[in-house]
Chain A
Amino acid sequence: MLQGKIINTMSNTADAIAVDQSRCLRMRFNKSTCSECIKHCRFDAVRIDECIDIKRDACSECMLCVSVCPSGCFDAKATDFYSLISRLKKAVNSVSSPVLGCNERVDLKAHERTVCFGFLSEDHIIALSVFMEGRLQINLTGCADCRNGFIVDTLKKRIGNIAKNTSLNVFEKICLVEDGSELYYQDISYDRRGFFKAIKNLTFLHASEFFENDEVMAPQSYSAKKIPIKRDLLNRVISYKKGDNTALLENYYYTVDINEDCNNCFACIGMCPTGALKIETAGDGRELSFNTSLCIGCGLCEGFCINNAISIEKGFRGHNPFEFA
Chain B
Amino acid sequence: MPKYGMVIDLQKCVGCGACALACKTENNTQDRAKGQTFNWADFIYKAEGKFPNVKFTAMPVLCNHCTDAACVKACPVTPKAMHKHENGMTIHNMERCIGCRQCQRACPYSSEDVDKSKAAYSVISFNDFSDEVHPFYRDKKEVVAGCTASGAEIAQKAGDIPPHRTLYKHSDYASVRVAGKVEKCMFCEHRVLNGEQPYCVASCPAGARIFGDLNDPNSEVSKALKAHKAVQLANNKGELLKPGEKGTQPNVYYIRGFKVTAKKA
Contacts and interface: CB of A to CB of B under 8 A. Distances in A.
A27 B129 contact: no
B88 interface: no
B123 interface: no
**Band of interface residues on A:** 20 to 34
B206 interface: no
A28 B97 contact: no
Contact of A30 (B78, B97, B99, B181): B78
A106 B108 CA distance: 63
Interface stretch (A109-117, A139-147, A207-215, A217-225): A217-225
A27 B78 contact: yes
Contact of B180 (A28, A223, A304): A223
Contacts of B78: 26-28, 30, 50-51
Contacts of B112: 265
B95 A219 contact: yes
A262 to B, nearest CB: 15
Interface in A255-309: 265-271, 278-279, 304
Nearest to A48: B78
B130 interface: yes
Contacts of A268: 100
B33 interface: no
A270 B95 contact: no
A29 interface: yes
Nearest to B80: A30
B79 A270 contact: no
A200 interface: no
B149 interface: no
Contacts of B79: 50-51
Given A222-B81, A223-B180, A223-B181, A269 B76 contact: no
B77 A30 contact: yes
Interface in B167-187: 180-181
A87 interface: no
Given A221-B95, A222-B96, A223-B180, A267 B101 contact: yes
Interface in B73-89: 76-79, 81
Interface string A127-168: 000000000000000000000000000000000000000000
B98 interface: yes
Interface residues of B, number: 19
Contact of A222 (B98, B101, B128): B98
B109 to A, nearest CB: 19
Q: Which of B76, B95, B129 has the most CB of A within 10 A?
A: B76
Nearest to A279: B130
B25 interface: no
B100 to A, nearest CB: 4
A31 interface: yes
A27 B102 contact: no
A267 B104 CA distance: 11
Interface string A219-240: 1011100000000000000000
A28 B129 contact: no
A304 B99 CA distance: 13
Q: Which of A28, A29, A222 has the most CB of B within 10 A?
A: A222
Contact of A223 (B98, B101, B102, B128): B98
A269 B129 contact: yes
Contacts of B180: 223, 270
Interface string B6-19: 00000000000000
A271 B95 contact: no
B19 to A, nearest CB: 30
A270 B96 contact: no
A222 B178 CA distance: 13
Contacts of B99: 223, 269-270
Contact of A266 (B96, B97, B129): B129
Contacts of A270: 98-101, 129, 180
Contacts of A51: 78-79
B169 to A, nearest CB: 17
Contacts of A265: 101, 112
Question: Which 3 interchain pairs have the tightest Cβ spacing?
Answer: A270-B99, A270-B100, A270-B98
22 contacts: A26-B78, A27-B77, A28-B78, A29-B77, A30-B77, A31-B76, A219-B95, A221-B95, A222-B77, A222-B98, A223-B97, A223-B99, A223-B181, A265-B101, A265-B112, A269-B99, A269-B129, A270-B99, A278-B129, A279-B128, A279-B130, A304-B76
